[in-house]
A and B are shown apart, each in its own frame.
Chain A
Amino acid sequence: GQRSSESPKNSNESFAIVSFKWDHVKEPYIIVLWILVASLAKIVFHLSHKVTRVVPESALLIVLGLFLGGIVWAADHLASFSLTPTVFFFYLLPPIVLDAGYFMPNRLFFGNLGSILLYAVIGTIWNAATTGLSLYGVYLTGIMGELQSGLLDFLLFGSLIAAVDPVAVLAVFEEVHVNEVLFIIVFGESLLNDAVTVVLYNVFDSFVAIGPTNVTGIECLKGIVSFFVVSLGGTLVGIFFAFLLSLVSRFTKHVRIIEPGFVFIISYLSYLTAEMLSLSAILAITFCGICCQKYVTANISEQSSTTVRYTMKMLASGAETIIFMFLGISAVDPDIWDWNTAFILLTLLFISVYRVIGVIIQTWILNRYRTVQLEIIDQVVMSYGGLRGAVAFALVALLDEHKVRERKLFVSTTIIVVFFTVIFQGLTIKPLVQWLKVKKTEHREPKLNEKLHGRAFDHILSAIEDISGQIGHHYLRDKWSNFDRKYLRKILMRRSAQKSRDQILNVFHELNLKDAISYVAEGERRGSLAFIRSPSTDNMVNVDFSTPLPSTVESSVSYLLREKAGPVCLDMQALEQRRKSIRDTEDTLAHHTLQQYLYKPRQEHKHLYSRHEIMHSEDDKQDKEIFHRTMRKRLESFKSTKLGINHSKKLNKIHKRDRGQKRRNSSVIPNGNIPSENPVQDFALKEKDLEFSESEENNDYETLHLGKGVDFLANVTKQNFSDSPAGIDNPVFSADDDQSIYMKFSPWLSGEDTVVPSQRARVQLPYSPDNFKRLTPIRLSNKSTDSFLLADGPEDRPRSFLPESTHM
């Protein structure tokens, strides 16, 4: 900043061109600066993998906070920054909890709800009571020296130090990857124990205020009642707002841009409302997230969903970072420190020991009722993973000095406890988990079979439950999903979203999409990708069904999927059209995703394609290599499907047209078997591909490749057919025929009885590339889209893929 150019003594008599207005921006500036520092710290931490693998981020942040606090202190001798309860409870905690709730695996959560509730409620009460009472007991023996606390103060302290902290648990367990059941129990406990913590804290706080003598049975009873009110009330508030949010998201079709905003605003409102009514705000926002996730994700557009996801993660992560850093900073404040060795050490001892005891007892009880038993190892992890964190700190900071005389001691102890659990336990839990060989999560790709069988199980088990006359887990779940389907969905989900979206279908859709994308990406890489176009406008399928063989039609999954279930479609036009249909969102996604891969760079210089000339260029060589490989691979997989033998006919029927935006010198137009409606102008290609044989690969490949408009698959098929050991001579590919067939190799086309390995299975074929160099997918010119749209002219116009027509 610059001072004003004039030098006013008291007042600025003249106009100051620039001025330094620190006070003006001070507050937001400092806040933003701290956020920036925290974020930069994160970057720095992650620069070193070695460090982050061993030390949990939270620990690093605390240390950083201590360091920074030290600097500020040294500079100013004044602890100006600290984690204030208000900021914590209003701004930092909600995003984290919302993130947890919104992404909570519901099935797992509700499946283990019994256990979670037991640990959360009984466990916390147990911890609080035993810790408080023990500390009091020890106090009475005098070891701690003189403290101005009574039983109630100890109980109050016990209640705030007893609760397992969701922020800390998340931060540490995220890096540890224990199996999901274990994780959900510990994490669920940390979330749901808020109700207990809030109640206990408030009860004891007010007891301390009114004085020990006035605590009567009535008060205790009120305390117990308030527990139920607070917890159930908070949950109901959450559910109410979830309902509201889902309902709102149903109507946001025309305001897509602010859709994500609603999620955050309404969830936050649930938090604040619960807080206002002195109910459990954490429970409220948790259940808001849990209940709304299904409907909101179904209703809002794909982009909004992504936005919500990323924003939530960003906010949560940012908040977590700031919390830990400020925990460190706040510790550097001599004012708050009051050291009492016995107290501190005993607290640490008691919380650990009592947690272990509590876990063991509860698990013993639970195991009599659980189908999946919790073993010793799980119990060890659960006890060890009971971390205390910022919630405890914020609660203790809220204590009133006048009511609770030993506030300073409590604050210091809490800080030590939090640091100990987060740093020490956080550091050692990973090696512990490894040493104990705790079962880890398995990250597997979703297999269709698993989903299917999982579904079968659900039904079987519910049937068994029905038959054997139990009211079991599955029975309940069934009832719930029926209720949901009949009523809730109709109210809360958009009409378009109500249909379809069976889970199995989702997986199937995903897998197919993956297949398609990888297929396309590969083709792109190999530098030859043809687009599969549909010959008829009205059909909008990229398969021609004007020919008979209804079985073909039926068995063509791609067709069916497109029409009914979900798009696996490389057909740009179809995608375009469908964008206007009800499933616009998913189609747009597919469209965009595929679009990324389907465009190739325009190469303007290679116009002429000559059969006899081999143009040597770097690219060509690469392409040739890749082409080789692709062909070989396709060939192998192709052969294994016996397509040549039974299904040649079917394949003939399927043809796609190349909408050539590649420089189509050599491209052909499809039209398999059907007497061509389009005179094919296939100069180079026809000769090439037809003489195809493995030995001649080289020549053909490169020439073909130069064409760059070839569907390598098509060539493979041709090759296959011409080479087929069964000697099937596919008329389509007879030497004179000047047509080539573009065929997407759809495994499902194989028809009734053969099973063809999936795309992915085939891709996993090992092969040894010779000079494998990847072509990086390059974007086309900006106008690529246009070519597609423009190209969708009258379908039966013969496509002459002369260079000009490929201009985009």
Chain B
Amino acid sequence: PGVPQGSAPVTSLLSLAVTSEQIEHLHRRFKQLSQDQLTIRKENFDSIPDLEFNPIRGKIVHAFFDKRNLRQESDGLAEEINFEDFLTIMSYFRPIEMNMDEEQLDRFRKEKLKFLFHMYDSDHDGKITLQEYRNVVEELLSGNPHLEKESARSIADGAMMEAASICVGQMGPDQVYEGITFEDFLKMWQGIDIETKMHVRFLNVDTIAHCY
């Protein structure tokens, strides 16, 4: 369910199941990042020192502004996001709770995977094509100076093939594998516990790393 724009912050956000403590903490952080403005833009993320060394920084920051992640109907990139949006993105990373039932868990999982999918699918067409995949892999491996682009490319190719074999199995004679759709993506992740891997502990509420 989309969170309506501009609605009252805390109460609706509690539906995101982030505790109020955490919300406060994140709010503080938001203010720090936005320099006390109401919204943040992409440039504000530059002020985080450690983020610089992250190879897929671009995609991650992009993900914050991706309208699909912000649960808005439209497509494309938002110019700026407010605190509510910020929280929405953060909520993708909340850990599972013990009291979730099957259906909730499933939805949870799908949400997280969808976030991931949007990160890979940069042109928003609902499919991860080989080129996009290559892009991702190149970025991922760009941190390692000794790994060159071609190798990254080959790896991407190999991975894509693997994905194809998982998703489509044996392909028919004239089939061409267009790209990984979200269903395929789900299939790829079937055996793996993404819920336990994709979350951040919101613990140390006092240790705020500083921006410049």
A interface with B by C-beta (< 8 Å) = 369, 371-373, 442, 444, 447-450, 452-457, 459-475, 478, 482, 498-500, 502, 504-505, 508, 511-512, 554-555, 557, 560-561, 563-565, 636, 639-642, 725, 747-748, 752-758, 760-762, 765
Contacts and interface: CB of A to CB of B under 8 A. Distances in A.
A448 B158 contact: yes
A93 B175 CA distance: 59
A504 B158 contact: no
B8 interface: no
29 contacts: A369-B201, A369-B203, A442-B191, A444-B191, A449-B159, A452-B140, A456-B56, A459-B56, A460-B56, A460-B198, A463-B56, A465-B200, A467-B51, A468-B200, A469-B25, A470-B209, A474-B200, A504-B155, A505-B151, A508-B158, A511-B162, A555-B153, A557-B153, A561-B151, A565-B147, A639-B173, A756-B164, A758-B162, A758-B164
B175 A640 contact: yes
A561 B203 CA distance: 43
B141 A502 contact: yes
A752 B130 contact: yes
B201 A449 contact: no
Contacts of B161: 747-748, 755-758, 761
Given A561-B151, A748-B154, A760-B165, 15 more contacts: A449-B166, A453-B116, A463-B56, A469-B208, A471-B204, A504-B141, A505-B151, A508-B155, A564-B150, A747-B161, A748-B157, A755-B164, A758-B161, A761-B162, A761-B164
Contact of A463 (B60, B129, B175): B60
Contacts of B56: 456, 459-460, 463
A471 B209 contact: yes
Contacts of B166: 449
Contacts of A747: 161
B54 A462 contact: yes
A561 B154 contact: yes
A436 B206 CA distance: 40
A469 to B, nearest CB: 4
Contacts of A498: 146
B32 A448 contact: no
Contacts, number: 207
B198 A467 contact: no
Contacts of A512: 158
B203 A470 contact: yes
B147 A500 contact: yes
Residue from the set B196, B200, B209 with the largest chain A CB neighbour count within 10 Å: B200
Contacts of A504: 140-141, 155
Contacts of B116: 453, 456, 460
Interface residues of B, number: 73
Residue from the set A444, A453, A565 with the largest chain B CB neighbour count within 10 Å: A453
Contacts of A755: 130, 160-161, 163-164, 176-177
B159 to A, nearest CB: 5
Interface stretch (B69-77, B90-98, B103-111): B90-98
B202 A470 contact: yes
A464 B50 contact: no
Contacts of B7: none
Contacts of A482: 53
B169 to A, nearest CB: 8
Interface in B133-187: 136-137, 140-141, 144, 146-148, 150-151, 153-155, 157-166, 168-177
B41 interface: no
A463 B57 contact: yes
Nearest to B120: A456
Residue from the set A466, A504, A505, A639 with the largest chain B CB neighbour count within 10 Å: A466
Given A457-B198, A482-B53, A748-B157, A447 B162 contact: yes
Contact of B136 (A456, A467, A758): A456
Given A447-B162, A478-B50, A557-B157, A461 B173 contact: no
A123 B137 CA distance: 44
A468 B151 contact: no
A726 B51 CA distance: 51
Contacts of A757: 161, 164-165, 168, 170-171
B10 interface: no
Contact of A640 (B32, B45, B158, B173): B173
A512 B162 CA distance: 12
A772 B176 CA distance: 32
Contacts of A450: 192
A784 to B, nearest CB: 31
Contacts of A475: 50, 209
Contact of A470 (B32, B147, B163, B201): B201
Smallest CB-CB A-B distances: 6 pairs: A761-B165, A755-B177, A557-B154, A499-B146, A565-B151, A560-B150
A452 B164 contact: no
A447 B190 CA distance: 13
Given A456-B140, A502-B141, A371 B199 contact: yes
Contacts of B146: 498-500, 502
Contacts of B198: 457, 460-461
A447 B21 CA distance: 39
Nearest to A515: B158
B162 A468 contact: no
A259 B32 CA distance: 54
A478 B56 CA distance: 14
A212 to B, nearest CB: 44
A639 B170 CA distance: 11
B188 interface: yes
Nearest to B136: A456
B171 A640 contact: yes
A372 B198 CA distance: 11
B29 interface: yes
A563 B50 CA distance: 34
Contacts of A557: 153-154, 157-158
